[in-house]
Every structure is written in structure tokens, then in C-alpha cells.
Amino acid sequence: MSLTAEQDQLAVSLVRGMAMDGPLAANSGHQGTAMALAPLGHVLYSRVLRHDPADPAWPDRDRFILSNGHASILQYSLLFLSGYGLELDDLKQFRQWGSATPGHPEAGHTAGIEVTTGPLGQGFANAVGMAIAETNLRARFGAEAQAHHTFVIAGDGCLMEGISHEAASLAGHLGLGKLICVFDDNLITIDGPTSMSTNDDVAARFRAYDWDVVELGEMADDLDGLEAALNAAKETDKPSLLILRSHIGEPSPDHVDTNGAHGNPFSVADVTRTKAVMGIPDEPFWAPDELVAAYRALVAARGTAARDAWTSASAAVTSTPEWQAAWARTGTSGWDAELPAYALGESLATRKAIQKALDATYDQLPGLMSGSADLTGSNGTGLARTTAFTADDPTGRYLHYGIREHAMGSALVGMAQHGGTLPIGGTFFVFADYMRPPIRLAALSGAKCCFVFTHDSVGVGEDGPTHQPVEHLATLRAMPNLHVIRPADGNETIHAWADVVRHDGPSVLVLSRQNIRVTTDGSAVARGAGIVTDSDGPPRVVLVGTGSEVEVCVDAAAALNARGVAARAVSLPSWNRFAEQGPSFRDEILPPGVPVVSVEAATTFGWERYADVTIGIDRFGASAPGELVLDKLGINVDHVVQRALDILA
């Protein structure tokens, strides 16, 4: 079943018309790239992709990512044509409040969008993560359950961004043969020709990364040629880069190959003249019913047939508890039964405790895939009972990302959005700065992944201020929809890992380098805060801390109580969990009218919401043994006791 040659051309013209009409109606948007890539998009959706609009979450569908997400009107037009639920009214509301067609594609907002794209290069790196997930699941569960491809369109901006270098290098090293990228080589950026800012040999660069590179040249309008090239790329055992020379704004008689076609909506006259060239009616959002019906029937028939065949072939695998737990992003029955507990007074770094938690749950979390940016032993993210994921052994569930924090973060998001995996990745907390874009996109899209950050304070010690995070906790706490946990000790770390597995969204674990005495039973994690030690009567002062500073609060409270000053020590490992609780619980932990002293080896920014006195580090650290740095900067029992007495006075 296929469209006629006339229907093919009408479909391309329809997409090009929508590419102009949407931005014109919104007075905002990017029509030029969408116009140039209309033939490619049409070939992908109607001829190449294995996808089913009736079941957008079908596990073995091909994944498609528009990395240059500013061209979102291209994808929305194709989703409309294919029958994903978008209708003309949705396209007419392009970039408007509450519409299903926002300015850039948003996962979870519009059916058929796999990942949230817009920040250039992120979608490309997400595609690498998706290909990792598919490769691992296929190796472990069999090709009858997973055997699809990941397609991504990337533009000049995507490949200029540094993230593309990290991600492409990783993909080539891992031999991700089912990853296919089309590079839209239109030679135009917002400022003007790409020659103003780059003269990279992209083909040579990707060949050096061990990709299969095909230079398609001038065939952006050749439907059969595009189909043949995409299908040929499926047959290679390396990731593929198809370099397509397109012409931004095609077929406008006035703006082809100009930067004006990039982000400035065409005028009414521009649209009229271009539609005349295409030979379609000069009416907004032209979409003949017969064409739309034929397109949707074609896509539905192909999609239903492919999905039904997969459902039958994969039934024995997809009915297993392991498969179902992997795709539910949780554990098999009793997955948390073997989690360890630590006796009060034991001493261990929380980065060591997370290793115990991962190993205790590995067998019961079939979707778990861990990794580190060349810091496996330091981060505690290793998995004792698996091999490394490599090109030769893709069954391994541990990834050596190398010194590629940015690519690791984006790959985690792609793996999470692919499904079937519960991905985590580790590095030092100070290097969260290298990962902020994917962390933000994980939060924006609700991707269930876990960022493990160790060496969480000036307690890092001798490496000095370049490696001592100070402001990082405050910045991550400020990010909406991001679950941040800084556990006080080994028990809170174990509970924190369980909370990560149960949480439906991205999580951050902030863990210590140095040993911390166990002072809690871990229960504070579930509700964000808990009383660790208390006075015999009502407290006169509350000392609240996170991470290693909870131990300081406990000892300071003991010293105050010994002096007859009723003091309570509180652990507050998760600000967002605590904020979710009702006022009665929050008042139970931090009684109204009782002064609160916060203690945290980080900037005090934000603590004013809870504390009357804030003890922290509003400066950069210093190179010296960690305990000495903490002491010199006021993170010690004597200082906390004195500040508590001062406020009571």
C-alpha cells in the first residue's frame, strides 16, 4: 500500500504550506528548515518509520527525534497527516497558550514526540541514549522484542554544539548500528552563512568517530532517493550519518538560502508567492480531506500490521516479569527486600552506601543501567554482577562514558525516554555544571533517570575550590520537577535509592566523599525531613542540616542539651519532598516560634525559607584536608552551638 506520485507531491506541498502558515499565524517560528525538509519528513513518516499512531508508546516502534527542534512545525504537520491526534485547529494554535503545538517539541505534551528538543545538540545526544537502550534490550531480551531503529535529524547548530562531539564519539565507540542521523546541511544559521563561523569537514569528523558516512548531496527533493538512502543505512553495523544538502526556505522565490528564512516568519505576500510556485491554493492551513484520509489510512495500515506482527512474535518475552518490570521502570516483586541497614554509630561515605544499594537491588531491577564519567570507583555507581556495555558485548548493564559528562547526562535522558531502562550516571558534584542542559530537560520532560553526584562539598579537601561545589545544591533545588536528595548517612542513602526507584521522574543524589557517622534510621527521606534527636521537653532551638552536616547538628544538639538548652536535631534530605507535606507535618518538624539554625556546607541561599540563622559557605573553598577546610569555614560543633546560643540570647 502506498500513495500515488501525485499524492506524494501534494503531501510535501501541504507540509510546506503548514510550515509557512503556522509561523505566520503566530507571528513567531521557523519555517525555512521545515520547508526544506518536508520531502525528507514525508518519506520518513509514510515510507520508512515503523510507527503506529494508534499506539504511540508501542515498545518496538522506530524512534524519531527532531534535534533541531525549532523546526517543530515540520513534525507537527507530519503528526497531523499521520493521524496522531493533532488536527487543523491544533496547527492553527501553533505556539499559543495551552496548545498541543508549542514552539519546540515537548515529550509528554504531544503524542508522537519522543524527547523534548530545542537546545541544539540535545536531541542528537538523546538519540544516542535511545540507541544504547535499544541495543542493550535487544541483546538481553532478543530481537523479537527489540529490533527498531532510532532516526534523528540534526542541523548545523546541533553539530556545532560541543555536546554533539561527545555524543558522536561515544556512539561510534559503542558501535550503535541502529542509529541513523540525517545532517541537514543547509549552510545557514541565524546570523548568516555557516562560513562565518565554521569550516569543519563534518564527513571527515564523523568518519573519525567510526560512523558510516554517506554524502547524499543535492537530493533533498528526491523522494525515492531519500527512501533508498534511509533503508540502506539500516543495513550497516555502524551508526550512520547521511549528509543532505538542503536549501532553507525551498521553494520560496525570494528567500531560499537566506538567513531571513530561518527565524523570521514570511509575510502574507511571501506565502502567497510561494504557494503559487507550489501550485496549491492560497488559503491558510490548506489540507484537502482526501489527501489527509489517504495518508492516515496508509500510516495506520502499515503501523497496525507491524505492531500486530511484533505483538505475536514477542509475546513469550513481553509476558515475563523481567520485561514488564523493565518497562514499568521499577522492580520485580520484593525488589527492595535485600536493601541493607546500618547500625547507629557505623561510619561510611554515602558514595559507598549507594554502591551497596545498587548491588542489593541489581537482580530485581531488570531495567537498571548504570555508568560513570570515568569515576566508577569514586562514584559508587559500579555494578558487581554485570559486565560493561561494549560494542562486542551489548548485554552489559554498565557504561563507561569516559570524560563526557554532558553526553552522559543527555544519554540518560534518551535512555529514560526510550523506555525499558532505569538509567543512572555518576560524576563529581562540581561537574553538574557540565550537565545542566540535560538535567533541565530531564526535569522539563519528566524523564525517569538518576544523576548521582559525589564529592558533594568542601569536604573534598585537597583538590581545592575548583573541585569543591558550593552553589550547586541551591541551583538544582531551584529547578522545577527535579527530585534532589542529599542523604545524611548510609541509612538515608539506602532509603534515597528506594525513593529514586519509586519516584516517577528525574532524581539527583548528592553524596559525600568522606565517611559520615550513621545517626538516622533513614525514614526522613520518605517525607523529606525527620527528627533525628530530640530534647526531653519542647525544644527551644532546632538545628537542621543535610548530608554530612546532620552529624554536626546531632553533636551540637547533644552539647546544648548537656548545658540545659533544649535542642532538636533535624535531617532535611529533600526540600521538594518536605514542601509536598501538609503544614501540620512541617510544623511538627519545625515548630512555629522556635528558632531554627541551618547547617550546610554550601551556600546559604534559599535557607531563609526555613531558618532564622544560616550557617554555610558563601564563598569558594580552599585546598587543604577536608576536615580542616570544613572546620576553618565554620562547619563545626562549637560554631553551631555558639550561633544557637546567640539567637536564644
Rounded to whole angstroms, how far apart are CA atoms 252 and 32? 9
Catalytic residue among 161, 405, 492, 600: 405
By the 8 A CB rule, do 407 and 163 touch?
yes
Cα 471 to Cα 457: distance, rounded to the nearest angstrom: 10
Q: Are 202 and 261 in contact (CB under 8 A)?
A: no
Query: Which residues touch 54 (CB under 8 Å, ≥6 apart)?
Result: 300, 303, 304, 307
* Closest CA relative to residue 147, chosen from 314, 368, 387: 314
**Beta bridge pairs of residue 344:** none
DSSP characters for 583-610?
A: HHHHHHHS-TTS-EEEE-SS--TTGGGT
Of 556, 597, 550, 539, residue with least CA distance to 574: 550
Task: Mention every residue, 6+ apart, whose C-beta is less than 8 A from residue 208.
Answer: none
Backbone phi, then psi, for 424, in 5-degree steps?
-135, 150
CB 194 within 8 A of CB 248: no
Rounded Cα distance between 644 and 615, Å, is 10
Q: 3-class SS at 623?
A: coil
- Cβ atoms 585, 527 nearer than 8 A: yes
> Do 474 and 605 touch, CB atoms closer than 8 A?
yes
Dmax of the chain from CA atoms? 90
| Residue 86 Cα distances to 38, 135, 275, 542, angstroms | 18, 31, 23, 54
DSSP secondary structure code for residue 95 in this structure: T
Question: 3-state SS string over 215-251?
Answer: EEECCCCCHHHHHHHHHHHCCCCCCEEEEECCCCCCC
Rounded CA-CA distance 82/589 in Å is 54
What Rg value do the Cα atoms of the chain yield, rounded?
27
List CB contacts of 330: < 8 A, sequence separation 6 or more: 365, 422, 501, 502
274 and 266 in contact (C-beta within 8 Å)?
Answer: yes
Helix (H), strand (E), coil (C) string for 543-562: EEECCCHHHHHHHHHHHHHH
Catalytic status, residue 405: yes
Query: Residue 98 class from Cβ within 10 Å (0-12 exposed, 13-18 middle, 19+ buried)?
Result: exposed
Pairing of strands 347-348, 516-517: antiparallel
Just list the catalytic residues. 405
